[in-house]
Structures are given as structure tokens and as C-alpha cells.
Amino acid sequence: MSGGISFAQTNLSLEIIGAQKDGGIIHVSLFNSEQSYEEKKAYRSLVSNPDTAIVLLTLPAGDYVISIYQDNNNNGKLDTNFIGIPKELFGFSNYDGRSFPGNFNKHRIQVNDSTKNILVNLYKL
């Protein structure tokens, strides 16, 4: 008998809606706690080509917030205006693009065995 702990992994697809084909690299960050979200310390980060609308992920079960932006000028950050409104396309899990993004609890999604597909829309305010 092994003494290790087994953590179930979930394979799922993240579908990014609204990316501009020639709009720059897409940056995806996953946060797995309220603290990591508030401190902007991603559990996992990745980049995607704008031609790829679906990103395959393998994650342990749990709560996550997914944050995405498309870096139009390839400077490695989400550009904002002087009051913090994004100038580039961005999106969050459980976000409708009608207001400023909220806290971890507002945007969290639960990943478990039944999670197969997550959709995140990109918006420009």
C-alpha cells in the first residue's frame, strides 16, 4: 500500500470567445484562491496564439478564477487608461462585460469531474 495522496485531475477545454485574429498574444491566468487573486499571483499562467480559440487544461478539482487579456502591443501587460479601464480586450470567468470586474467569489468557477468546457468572453470597455 502506498502512503501517497492521490489528487484527481480534470481535463477540460477553455474556449476563448471574441479574440481578434491579428490582435496579439492571449495571456491566460488561473487563480486558485482569493488570496492569489487579490495578490495577482497566478496559480498557473499560459499564453495562446490568437488563432487558437480553445486551450486544453488539466487541473485539480477546486475553485478557480480565469483572467484573460489579449496583448495588442505585445508589451506583456494589460494596458489601461488613467482611471484603470482596460484599453485591450479582456475577460474573466463568470463576467458579462457590463461593469468593472469583481472579487474572487464573483468570478470563481468550480472545476470537478463534471467540468468539461469553460467559456470566457473577451470584452472592450
**pLDDT tens digits along 16-72:** 999 998 889 999 999 999 999 999 999 999 888 877 788 999 999 999 999 999 999
Give the domain ranges of the chain.
9-114
0.85 cut: is pTM over it?
A: yes
Question: What SS3 string covers the chain?
Answer: CCCCCCCCEEEEEEEEECCCCCCCEEEEEEECCHHHHHCCCCCEEEEECCCCCEEEEEEECEEEEEEEEEECCCCCCCCECCCCCECCCEEECCCCCCCCCCCHHHHCEEECCCCCEEEEECECC
pLDDT at 1 over 60: no
9-114 CATH, one of 2.40.50, 2.60.40, 3.30.1340, 1.10.8: 2.60.40
- For 92-106, what is each residue's pLDDT tens digit? 999 998 888 899 999
pLDDT band, very low/low/confident/very high, at 7 (cuts 50, 70, 90): low
More confident residue, 68 or 4: 68
